[in-house]
């Protein structure tokens, strides 16, 4: 999911360079949304693993 957020961020940068403000704004919004969903899922995963009591695999 973080890969998708980075992809949309790069699309937003390229669109902004070429002057497509609407597309850049939309891509930036999507990238922000995906990034925060990724962070939320990461935190939930870390908390679930902490309560499970297993050590993470190395």
Per the domain annotation, does 22 fall within a domain? Answer: yes
Query: What's the confidence (pLDDT) of residue 37?
Result: 92
Task: Compute the half-sphere exposure of residue 54: CA atoms within 13 Å on the CB side of its CA.
Answer: 8
Q: How many domains does the chain have?
A: 1
Per the domain annotation, does 13 fall within a domain? Answer: yes
Domain span at residue 34?
2-50
Task: Compute the half-sphere exposure of residue 31: CA atoms within 13 Å on the CB side of its CA.
Answer: 16
Per the domain annotation, does 57 fall within a domain? Answer: no
Per the domain annotation, does 55 fall within a domain? Answer: no
Structure tokens at 35: 């990034």
pTM score, two decimals?
0.68
Per the domain annotation, does 10 fall within a domain? Answer: yes
Per the domain annotation, does 58 fall within a domain? Answer: no
Per-residue tens of pLDDT for the chain, all 58 residues: 678 888 888 888 888 888 888 888 888 888 889 889 999 999 999 898 888 876 667 6
- Residue 32's CB is within 10 A of a number of other CB atoms, namely 14
Structure tokens at 50: 């902490």
Per the domain annotation, does 38 fall within a domain? Answer: yes
């Amino acid at each position: 999911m973080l890969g998708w957020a980075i992809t949309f961020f790069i699309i937003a940068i390229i669109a902004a360079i070429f002057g497509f403000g609407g597309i850049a704004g939309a891509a930036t919004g999507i990238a922000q949304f995906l990034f925060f969903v990724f962070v939320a899922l990461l935190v939930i995963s870390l908390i679930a693993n902490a309560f499970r009591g297993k050590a993470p695999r190395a």
